[in-house]
């Protein structure tokens, strides 16, 4: 892992062929041509690529993290409905909570909006991914983003997380990519309400939660502990069929209305 210093961003700038292929992939993401261009970028690539997306700087590793691959090769299609929902609501004092921030794609998208002058809390505990997040934050020093290095759960303590080296973004309490974990690590856990209270982020304008199926371990307690006035205005959540508690129905029971259903996520707004 290269040293986390902001001044070495650009060291891995795409060469002319990669830049052209990325542009072509983004223009025609659903075509055979787009697929060919993506292979052209990824084949033999053994290092990250430093790019500008949505007004922010990123160092992306597309070979072992699906969301980084999607953002690099098809940024205009990356969670378009979700990003539009956020963009249309951003104001000068906007507060955004990014639970399962990964490498900071959502956090930096929000921070880079011209009208944004608010505060962002990015929660991410995974060792390699949080190093990438921290680097991306360092390369954008003008943005007010706080990184909380812990996992959200239903209690304060420690938990074992499992990592897939093929898709690090699919790692979590339960592995969702591959049959067996490539790595395991122990992470501190805190209830979401406690984290938000610690950072004065109660009543945030928006909260995104994508924690690889563990939403049902977090949200029931969060709704139980949090007064209605302190709930986030907008809730963006990855859907998961394996939930023991239907988190979408739970949100609706707590005053939210579903306004968007995308390929992977649901967006709910407090009524």
Q: Domain ranges in the chain?
A: 1-66, 79-270
Distance CA 159, CA 187 (A): 5
Q: Residues of the chain whose pLDDT is less than 70?
A: 1-6, 175-179
Q: What is the pTM of this model?
A: 0.93
pLDDT in the model for residue 213: 84
Residue 248 phi, psi dihedral angles, 5° rounding: -70, -50
pLDDT in the model for residue 1: 45
Angstrom CA distances, 117 to 3, 114, 133, stand at 29, 8, 20
H or E element in which residue 269 lies: strand 265-270
Other CB atoms within a 10 A radius of the CB of residue 263 amount to 7
Sign of CA dihedral 95, 195, 135, 20: negative
Question: Largest Cα–Cα distance of the chain, in whole Å?
Answer: 53
Distance CA 197, CA 199 (A): 5
**What 3-state DSSP class applies to 224?**
helix
Distance CA 175, CA 194 (A): 26
Distance CA 29, CA 101 (A): 24
CA 4 from chain center: how many Å? 20
H or E element in which residue 265 lies: strand 265-270
- The structure tokens 């953002």 sit at 71
Distance CA 264, CA 79 (A): 9
Q: Which fold has domain 79-270?
A: Rossmann fold (3.40.50)
């Amino acid at each position: 892992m290269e040293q986390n210093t902001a001044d070495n961003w650009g060291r891995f700038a795409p060469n002319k062929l990669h830049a052209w292929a990325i542009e072509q992939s983004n223009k025609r993401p659903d075509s055979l041509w787009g697929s060919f261009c993506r292979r052209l970028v990824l084949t033999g690539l053994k290092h990250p690529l430093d790019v500008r997306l949505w007004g922010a700087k990123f160092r992306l590793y597309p070979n072992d993290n699906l969301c980084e691959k999607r953002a690099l090769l098809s940024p205009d299609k990356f969670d378009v409905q979700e990003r539009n929902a956020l963009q249309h609501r951003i104001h000068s004092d906007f507060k955004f909570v990014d639970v399962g921030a990964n490498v900071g794609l959502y956090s930096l998208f929000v921070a880079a909006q011209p009208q944004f002058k608010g505060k962002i809390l990015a929660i991410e505990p995974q060792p390699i991914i949080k190093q990438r997040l921290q680097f991306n934050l360092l390369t954008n020093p003008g943005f007010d983003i706080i990184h909380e290095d812990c996992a959200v759960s239903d209690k304060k303590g420690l938990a074992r997380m499992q990592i897939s080296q093929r898709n690090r973004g699919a790692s979590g309490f339960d592995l969702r990519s591959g049959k067996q974990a490539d790595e395991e690590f122990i992470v501190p856990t805190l209830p979401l309400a406690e984290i938000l209270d610690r950072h004065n982020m109660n009543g945030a304008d928006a909260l995104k939660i994508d924690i690889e199926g563990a939403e049902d371990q977090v949200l029931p307690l969060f709704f139980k502990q949090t007064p209605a006035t302190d709930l986030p205005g907008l809730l963006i959540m990855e859907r998961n069929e394996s939930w023991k508690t239907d988190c979408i129905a739970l949100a609706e029971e707590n005053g939210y209305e579903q306004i968007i259903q995308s390929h992977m996520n649901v967006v709910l707004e407090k009524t």
